[in-house]
Structure 1
Amino acid sequence: MTGNRSQLPAVVALLTTLLAVTTWAPARAQVVTAGPDSLAVSTPIVTDSARRTASLFGIAMTRPSKAGLLAVMLPGAGQIYNRKFWKLPLVYGAIGGTLYGEFFYQTRYKESLTALEDFAQGRKPSGPNAVLLTDSTRAERYLRAYRTQRDVFIAYTAVAYGLTILDAVVDAHLKDFDISDDLGLQWQPTLIWMPTAALTPGFSLTLTLNNTRSRRPLK
């Protein structure tokens, strides 16, 4: 019992200190502890004008915006701007393949539609695939199937076109960052403030990415 009483002042002092820190902490935005193993990272504010390091038709804009606009105007132009020439076969293969499928099923759809009109007027179809269209029932069945496949390839073309634009924008974003071996990841102990609890011990991780956007000339 005597031992517990002797420890009571220390416990009260600790609780008082924690209460004082908890009361004082909300007045500070964040408590940062610096040690010998910590890394000081400067984070200057980058203005919107500093991000516009590219130019298109005399209009200053960011590299991702320019790459995206070029890819919209001409498939593959964004990849050429990013100097990713090896992606051009993929771009033209994806868009060309889907466009070919759309054209193929559109041609068959129109042929089936013409054959159905011929049957309605008592004529015999004379198209390249007239041998498959033996009656109006079969012509209508082929018409529905080809129309469905045509609509599917229209969607495929839109997806392929959108992916080429997205690829150009993402590549342009990644060009602004230094992805060499000189990347720093530092960790250090810290205290985390929570509104409903006292200061909680934790770890702080700092990943340093060197943004080279401001050093790039207009292109």
Structure 2
Amino acid sequence: MLMTAFVSAQDSTATAPKSPRKAVVYSIIPGGGQLYNGKKIKAALMFGAQFWMLYQFQTNRSSYNSWDDGSYTKPREYYRNNRNKYAWYSAFVYIYNLADALVDSHLSDFDEKNEKVDKTQN
């Protein structure tokens, strides 16, 4: 019985794996899931990228709406195309943000699993 206790004991330094569901929920705010996973730089990049895309979208939307229909239409088309482009970029960054947080949370204990395999093979 005493032998079994030593075999089934777990390493107290191991961290609990991150919850993928929590990571995705926190990622509703861009960068939140990355912060949950402990990736501060990646969180700042995600937040900054999303902020920049939304800022560009809003700037081009405002310019498009303020352009007069009766005048030269080339700039209006330019702003419309840019507005649409940044809307797609923003959606891509947002989906990437969610997927990245999900994958990071699934792989949060990967190194620990790998170390356990190495220890058992020796």
Band of TM-score, shorter chain: 0.7 to 0.9
Identity score, percent? 31
Residue of structure 1 aligned with 2:107, choices 171, 174, 182 = 174
1:183 maps to 117
Alpha-carbon offset, residue 179 of structure 1: 5.1
Task: Summarize deviations over 1:97-116 as a string: whole Å, max 9, x none.
Answer: 1111101111110111xx22
Alpha-carbon offset, residue 182 of structure 1: 4.2
Residue of structure 1 aligned with 2:79, choices 146, 150, 170 = 146
Cα RMSD over matched residues? 2.3
TM-score (norm 1): 0.43
Find the residue that maps to 1:97 and give its secondary structure: helix
Number of residue-to-residue matches in the alignment: 103
Alpha-carbon offset, residue 180 of structure 1: 4.9
Find the residue that maps to 2:27 and give its secondary structure: helix
* Greater Cα radius of gyration, structure 1 or 2: 1
Alpha-carbon offset, residue 181 of structure 1: 4.0
Deviation >6 Å, runs of 4+: none
Tell me how far apart the structure 1 counterparts of residues 81 and 30 of structure 2 sit (CA, whole Å).
Answer: 26
Task: Summarize deviations over 1:131-190 as a string: whole Å, max 9, x none.
Answer: xxxxx2x1x222122111100100000001111111111110011332554434xxxxxx
Does 2:98 align with 1:165? yes
Tell me how far apart the structure 1 counterparts of residues 26 and 82 of structure 2 sit (CA, whole Å).
Answer: 30
TM-score (norm 2): 0.73
Unaligned residue ranges in structure 2 (runs of 5+)? 1-15
Residues 19 and 105 in structure 2, CA contact (< 8 A), matched pair in contact too: yes
Residue of structure 1 aligned with 2:26, choices 58, 61, 70 = 70
